[in-house]
Amino acid sequence: MYAALLPQFMDPQAGPAWAQLLQLGGVQIIVGLAVNALIMLGAARLSGFLASRPRVMTAQRYAAGGLLGIFALRTAFTPHPGRSLTPRRPPPPRPRTIINAVNAPPPGQRQPPHH
């Protein structure tokens, strides 16, 4: 990740590249630790809240189970893998350019399907 993302934030006049990468990487690690700590503390607090209220815990379980059931039904009844249940409009026709005209069939003929 560091080699792909951090070089765009480096400045050639700001000093050696390794020092800038070390500093930027350190900042990212500190921010990541802080965010993960907040998520952990929030989850612990929510866990304590749910443990002290059995009705809320039951409602949460039913809600989560129902949501997973909806996702399962949607997946089971999707006509083709990778396609949504909502119909999509076909893409607009490609303009006939010189590059496309070389491989395109003559007007009036259909192109064979690709498999």
* Structure confidence by residue, pLDDT tens digits, 30-61: 999 999 999 999 999 998 888 899 999 999 99
Rounded CA separation 40/89 (Å): 44
Rounded CA separation 100/46 (Å): 58
Rounded CA separation 102/96 (Å): 9
Cα 22 off chain centre by:
28
Sign of the alpha-carbon torsion through 37, 38, 40, 44: positive
pTM of the model: 0.49
